[in-house]
Chains A and B, each alone.
Chain A
């Protein structure tokens, strides 16, 4: 038996509804005792106004997501929405704190449906409002729109954020919104005749619309689902629809029936740059770019060829490019490369004087979701890539080669090389080049604890001391 009534003005306003609902709750008025007047005709209702009731308890506490839900439900045209929300409020405040999670509940479900309808209508308003320029005024626009629900107040701030630099008005049958370039204002309803009937740009827009449509993919069901017919009357492009739909079949048939024609004319061919000389690093690099000697090229981005002066006295050979190297196309730029740079710097060695390359020139990895995990190259990959390394050595003719890690050492010294036993020991290659091997900087990075990593890093730096002595000697010799 309802003995109380409540009025919300304007009926879509969240603050207004909250004031009334709070008063009703504080007066202890149960949902079934209260009649909500949906459209603001309070005088016709019997019963006592809830705002006149004295509070008997504290204001209710509700979670913020309830208020967000209420904000959109209130914009719906459904006359029962105020009562529905009050029922939810009553239940939540009476102890069903997690009620909104329970989407199988009839009230929760209904509120969800109303909110969804309002959300959809709001979204369509953002999409389908069409501004028309006011003749004779600069950057002033008026739109006529017919929303299904009371959403003008809700959506107007969106248009203010978007069209801040213009003056505009959106007119609807129940309410209007205005923007003067700095503040948002609202007024009463209007009629279609209050907005300009057409816009000079509409013809261009229709041209675009007609030409971006692909008649070979006709799917009018999908179109009407997303752009319901009730919106068509205010869309300048919609008047083309009957013609576009009717002619689509014939256009596709015409395309199919037409024989392939010989080209009538040709645009001049692109100038192809002459090939570089087949000798030297640039030519080698260009050739390696197309390398297909093993399957690693396929999932990788690019060949990461060596880098450095062709006159370098020292050549550094690493294992294979990593994630960063694969993307940038340059060796030793990822975390391991950065650690290597630091180690070089402790000995005062300038990286720019070295020739840096890898035993295998494509990144081998295993894909885990969005991450690419490093995998050691197989012997076959090393073998496939060996000619490139040999050509690099033959071209640069370094006096010293430093192998970083076991893969590089095996590529240079042969399969029997034992890194941990033979590291930091000078060896002499067949052609007289001196060489030694040390760990790969990524091995240092892989050490688990900070302490182990420090020790590993120190040993790596110590190994490179061999190079420092010789680098000095080499520089002396060259100067």
Chain B
């Protein structure tokens, strides 16, 4: 098989993994090394495909042969998809050639499970080792980690890679048992625990040696992440968000990616017929942000007495605000940061701008316009020197109707 054909097969096989981030690595460059590559903290998206997703890393599988039979996966053992396999050397060359042309930030390498976990992991680690040691490559490397690979391989992976990830795939154990029979939640969680353990141990060891020259090498400086598939099993948004919170807390994950289950060629008859709406995935990301950066908890976003699903028509912060009209209006000129962060339409950056500006003068609606605040969304929830929403908050249902998109006509053929 030609390299071009292999690339087509193995890129196609990798596209259902949502992660493409190349951020979070430590700052490094290639000056004086003779090699190429740098990371400066912030990732760069080198292109965008028509699905609106960024292309930052060369995201491929080493092989799409796989002994597992995960129903939702295009590469499952029982799928009739075309199969291919790269040699580690081919991936190394491809990565360097792409990097030198500034197509990519680095490599995101994953693989189907061939023979066993250790054998597969060994191949992945060999690619990273060769890039780092043989070619002095200092760009970004993200390796997918096989949960049951041995600790020595995990240690080696962390030495060469910026980020490691293990996919939990489905938010509940029942879902995993039904759709991914070979994957075991305890194995996945144990491996994540092991990674957090090693990452933190490495940070401590480096701190302890900060004053000497004998600093141990970095272990996965960009931390670990995971992915959950949304809509392939019966888990609701509340289940998903509770699982995320647990994962962020237990394993200090940098990111949990949500991937709306997407129709795949040669689909199994056991999959749901309908893909979930992409907006569900979007709402989950918004909720995830609220959990991590805006001081919300799951009970507020997806309360136990609710339907367990996020409102698809309005964003989760607005939905929360409409359930809690007693918390509003908020005084733009006096409210503390954590209260401003809870106002629909105010993001973290805007809140900082408001806090900076109001030290100099009390703010009016015109000032909010200058600060590029989305007035339509924000004004019903705030007061300024010259504005008060009056009785609008008394009727949340009417407000919800104003925020929600107009109802679309049902498709005649749907």
Contact = CB atoms under 8 A, between A and B. Distances in A.
Interface of A: 98, 101-104, 106, 109, 123, 126-133, 139, 141, 143, 158, 160-166, 199, 201, 203-205, 207-223, 226-227, 235, 237, 241, 244-245, 248, 252, 255-256, 258, 260-261, 263-264, 266-271, 289-290, 299-303, 324, 326-329, 367, 369-372
Contact of A226 (B33, B48, B79): B48
Contacts of A302: 186, 189-190, 193
A258 B266 contact: yes
Among A208, A217, A299: residue with most chain B CB under 10 A? A208
Among A106, A205, A328, A372: residue with most chain B CB under 10 A? A205
Given A204-B7, A217-B51, A244-B50, A327 B30 contact: no
A201 B98 contact: yes
B38 A209 contact: no
Contacts of B14: 212
Given A158-B40, A162-B36, A217-B52, 9 more contacts: A102-B356, A128-B47, A218-B51, A267-B77, A290-B186, A300-B250, A302-B189, A328-B194, A329-B193
Among A158, A212, A215: residue with most chain B CB under 10 A? A212
Contacts of A101: 356-357, 359-360
B33 A164 contact: yes
Given A98-B359, A164-B30, A326 B36 contact: no
Contacts of B58: 208
Nearest to B94: A204
Contact of B264 (A162, A255, A269): A255
A271 B116 CA distance: 9
B357 A260 contact: no
B337 to A, nearest CB: 15
Contacts of B156: none
List the 5 closest pairs (A to B, CB-CB), nearest first: A222-B52, A219-B52, A161-B29, A213-B49, A263-B78
Interface string B54-83: 110011100001111000000001111000
Interface stretch (B157-165, B210-218, B241-249, B323-331): B241-249
B334 interface: no
A223 B48 contact: yes
B7 A268 contact: no
A264 to B, nearest CB: 5
A287 B344 CA distance: 49
Contacts of B50: 213, 218-220, 223, 241, 244-245, 248
Interface of B: 3-4, 7-9, 11-12, 14-16, 29-38, 40, 44-55, 58-60, 65-68, 77-80, 94, 97-98, 100-103, 113, 116, 136, 182, 186, 189-190, 192-194, 196-197, 245-246, 248-252, 260, 262-269, 275, 278, 353, 356-357, 359-361, 363, 367, 370-371
12 contacts: A101-B356, A103-B356, A103-B370, A104-B361, A123-B44, A127-B45, A131-B102, A213-B51, A217-B51, A220-B52, A260-B268, A263-B77
B267 A165 contact: no
Contact of A266 (B52, B54, B78, B252): B78
B249 A211 contact: no
A328 B193 contact: yes
A209 B55 contact: yes
A165 B30 CA distance: 7
A207 B100 contact: no
B38 A162 contact: yes
Nearest to B38: A162
Contacts of A303: 186
Given A220-B52, A223-B49, A302-B193, A160 B44 contact: no
B359 A216 contact: no
Given A166-B100, A201-B98, A227 B47 contact: yes
A194 B181 CA distance: 58
A162 B105 CA distance: 10
B30 A267 contact: no
B360 A102 contact: yes
A212 B49 contact: yes
B15 A235 contact: no
A214 B8 contact: no
Contacts of A264: 80
Contacts of A235: 47
Contacts of A207: 4, 7-8, 11
B357 A255 contact: no
Contact of B190 (A109, A132, A165, A329): A329
A164 B357 contact: no
Contacts of A370: 248-249, 252
A175 to B, nearest CB: 18
A367 B299 CA distance: 13
Contacts of B370: 103-104, 106, 109
Among B31, B116, B367: residue with most chain A CB under 10 A? B31
B171 to A, nearest CB: 12
Contacts of B260: 217
A203 B35 CA distance: 25
A297 to B, nearest CB: 8
A162 B29 contact: yes
Given A161-B29, A164-B31, A267-B66, A301 B245 contact: no
Contacts of B29: 161-162, 164
Given A219-B50, A261-B80, A211 B30 contact: no
B49 A209 contact: yes
B35 A127 contact: no
A163 B263 contact: no
Contacts of B192: 301
B372 to A, nearest CB: 9
Contact of B249 (A215, A237, A271, A371): A371
Nearest to B355: A101
Given A161-B31, A164-B36, A207-B4, A141 B101 contact: yes
B281 to A, nearest CB: 9
B62 to A, nearest CB: 15
A104 B371 contact: yes
Nearest to A266: B77
